[in-house]
A and B are shown apart, each in its own frame.
Chain A
């Protein structure tokens, strides 16, 4: 027990205390005495509860107040230019509620009203245009579920196992249903005849915040599936996700999903902005760097059990639950290993995920209480198989920072406590 991180131990103890009052660990055990929760009249069964309008916009019940985004303060200089992490260890299904979907700001989240919102399209277009928010709502719109993953997700794990929790190792991701106007519709409004041959053209996009976070998107992608989105999961975007309008760039690194998007410029070259040169480029072992690494390759992680989600119920039926995704399309298969990659079983997909969206997978096992090394391995529709950490390091070294889609290992001991480890 002493070997394990404080976080894991406390999570385990908390979990144990919660179940101890209710039942005995293990298989369906005989009850010695009547359960007072059943035999005695409880307050909630006799007094009335809250009326409607108690919370005009509802929040999760207080018992779930540990399911929140968390920050790793030492990672960045200031919370205004920083990142926090989605509590993926505690979520199920595939849709991420906006309120706990990770945030990444470069100059803080801004409060911009719909009335003050303007979107400009200029550059190599027939008519430079300015749209209001109301204009955007009059154009034909679409709904799509997509994941948004920061290129730096799992970036702290390049040099070795560092952070004890799926939230911290894999939580720079969220998955929402977006409502928006295809970018190609807006470009058609401005007219692309002036751009001539589109095959070598770009759309440079920037936000209204102080960072502006400019990125260059090749025209082929811009005309394919990029959305100018104003709703997520059915409601307005949250401030921290770019209210009132953000860009959705399916399957591509989160930094390109420009929030508070205010300008799109058709250009004949990439602008080579700060975010696409000094950042979001991947340094390899010999010091050269790869640039324009936009796609997020297939990846998966077991979300439970995991360091923040120890097994507290003892031996017997155990649900191994996890998430898989690929920026190249659909997830077609996920394999799970309980012995560190020696043997694999194909997991059950909770539901066939959409293209470039999270897919939930499950492996339902009878846990005999012996230690496990849990791993998962995603395969996408292109046939790409999620690589091991060794394979990635061999290909790229340890200094890439970005695009770490390695197979993750959780060690689960006899007591059900889980820890982030690397294995031979």
Chain B
């Protein structure tokens, strides 16, 4: 089963060996000369014959050894192996690592196979699924799994796979339902992976199926009903057949001259114009367009920096940066921060609630913006403690900060990283 282990001997290793063998041969010749000289001396003097004889024997032994070494090296070269060798395999284990405990395997081995192996016991219905989905998933995937921004569309797209822009959803494309359960259970929600219960995962998958018109609203998905669901595109895949369909056609000696009569440009990237500019180019344009703004900002900046510096506790800021990981899948902060699933957070304290131009806020934030309320540390704390209680109807799918000490740390980080 395993392929030859001697595939890796590079050309250089071979060269080194040949040099080594040549050296061995020349040493042997030199040894032979020495022996002849010694024998001549023996014959003429007759003195110290025993010692000389011993020396000859030693030299002979050395020659034999060198010849054996040469033979071994030559054999190694001939076999394509040599000094450069793959890591040795061992029939007897190295006995490294330790036995995995059943609890450890259970904690990490949660994958689910197409035939349902690996599914936990549990169940969830469509209506529960809708609630959980709206709370946990909709901020990226839309209330009806229709997708938001560049985030994946999970529903619809039937009959589009042969179109110019196929819409590949759980319903229209995914061949196995196990994939949806497996992925959601392990890797979703984005930014809080591994936090869903088995029942909630069943419920979410049930809701996604409902959004795809694949089940009715009274459907309950469980480890027992799982294999009853038929995936519409289960038969839509073929195994890699490039070897048969392509490689044979694309392996002929290619044309080298006069291969075409004319060469005309049929399309150019500059027409599409989607290549990102370098920062240098972008800032050059920016400074030409808005020189006054930049000067104003430069004049304001030092004062604010002083305020932040006075208040900043580096350890607290660093701790806050850790807390911010719970936020960063949706929010950006700092130089160049832009709106993502959530608005950018620069200058959040003192900023109008719902006040970032161009961000698509939920209604509760739009209302707040009209009243002109601004974010205070207290308001932010209350919102982060329980987002849906503080701002009913918010699209932010965050369950709230759990650790009391996280609030001050996060605030310090937001003020430090988002200082304008």
Residue ranges of A at the interface with B (Cβ–Cβ < 8 Å): 3-8, 10, 66, 70-78, 80-81, 106-108, 120-123, 127-132, 135, 138-142, 144, 160-165, 168, 181-182, 184-185, 188-191, 198-199, 204, 206, 210-212, 214, 219-220, 223-225, 262-263, 265, 267, 269, 271-274, 277-278, 281, 283, 285-295, 297, 307, 335, 339-344, 352, 354-355, 373, 377, 379, 382-387, 391, 395, 398-399, 411, 419-424
Question: Which residues in B have their C-beta under 8 angstroms from that of A342?
Answer: 257-261, 263
A/B interface sample: 25 pairs, CB < 8 A = A6-B273, A6-B281, A8-B270, A78-B340, A80-B190, A108-B328, A120-B104, A120-B108, A128-B105, A131-B96, A162-B269, A163-B274, A190-B97, A210-B187, A220-B3, A274-B182, A274-B187, A288-B237, A289-B236, A290-B242, A291-B240, A343-B256, A343-B258, A344-B257, A422-B268
Question: Which residues in A have their C-beta under 8 angstroms from that of B114?
Answer: 269, 272
Which residue on chain B has the smallest CB distance to residue A144? B8
Interface size bracket, B side:
35 or more
* Cα–Cα, bound, A258→B185 (Å): 19
* Cα–Cα, bound, A285→B269 (Å): 23
Residues of chain B in range 246-266 having any CB-CB distance to chain A below 8 Å:
246-247, 250-252, 254-266
* Cα–Cα, bound, A294→B241 (Å): 11
Residue ranges of B at the interface with A (Cβ–Cβ < 8 Å): 1-3, 7-8, 10-11, 86-90, 93-100, 104-105, 108-109, 111-115, 140, 149-151, 161-162, 164-166, 168, 170, 173-176, 178-179, 182-183, 186-187, 190-191, 193-194, 236-242, 245-247, 250-252, 254-270, 272-278, 280-281, 328-330, 340-341
* Cα–Cα, bound, A411→B341 (Å): 39
Question: Could you tell me if A211 and B270 are in contact, using CB atoms closer than 8 angstroms?
Answer: no
Question: Could you tell me if A162 and B240 are in contact, using CB atoms closer than 8 angstroms?
Answer: no
Question: Could you tell me if B250 and A423 are in contact, using CB atoms closer than 8 angstroms?
Answer: no
Question: Could you tell me if B239 and A291 are in contact, using CB atoms closer than 8 angstroms?
Answer: yes
* Cα–Cα, bound, A307→B274 (Å): 14
* Cα–Cα, bound, A134→B385 (Å): 41
Which residue on chain B has the smallest CB distance to residue A123? B109
The verdict on A277 contacting B276 (CB below 8 Å), with A189-B93, A263-B108, A272-B114 known, is no
Question: Which residues in A have their C-beta under 8 angstroms from that of B168?
Answer: 278, 283
Question: Which residues in A have their C-beta under 8 angstroms from that of B267?
Answer: 160-161, 421-422
Of B8, B187, B261, B272, chain A has the most CB atoms within 10 Å of the CB of B187
Question: Could you tell me if B1 and A219 are in contact, using CB atoms closer than 8 angstroms?
Answer: yes
* Cα–Cα, bound, A422→B263 (Å): 10
Closest 6 CB pairs of A and B: A287-B161, A340-B263, A77-B150, A140-B87, A287-B162, A210-B193
User: Which of the residues A139, A262, A352 comes within 8 Å of B94, measured between beta carbons?
Assistant: A139
The verdict on A168 contacting B275 (CB below 8 Å), with A340-B260, A422-B265 known, is yes
* Cα–Cα, bound, A356→B274 (Å): 32
The verdict on A421 contacting B268 (CB below 8 Å), with A6-B281, A107-B190 known, is yes
Question: Which residues in A have their C-beta under 8 angstroms from that of B270?
Answer: 3-5, 8, 164, 419-420
Question: Could you tell me if B240 and A293 are in contact, using CB atoms closer than 8 angstroms?
Answer: yes
How far apart are B361's CB and chain A's nearest CB, in angstroms?
Answer: 18
* Cα–Cα, bound, A204→B260 (Å): 48
Known pairs A190-B97, A293-B242 / 14 extra A-B pairs, C-beta < 8 Å = A162-B272, A163-B274, A210-B190, A225-B7, A277-B174, A291-B237, A291-B239, A335-B254, A341-B263, A342-B260, A342-B263, A384-B250, A419-B269, A419-B270
Question: Which residues in B have their C-beta under 8 angstroms from that of A341?
Answer: 259-260, 263
Question: Could you tell me if B164 and A122 are in contact, using CB atoms closer than 8 angstroms?
Answer: no
* Cα–Cα, bound, A56→B330 (Å): 35
How far apart are B351's CB and chain A's nearest CB, in angstroms?
Answer: 22
User: Which of the residues A164, A283, A354, A379 comes within 8 Å of B161, measured between beta carbons?
Assistant: A283
How far apart are A395's CB and chain B's nearest CB, in angstroms?
Answer: 6
User: Which of the residues B104, B174, B187, B247 comes within 8 Å of A382, measured between beta carbons?
Assistant: B247
Question: Could you tell me if B236 and A287 are in contact, using CB atoms closer than 8 angstroms?
Answer: yes
* Cα–Cα, bound, A277→B234 (Å): 10
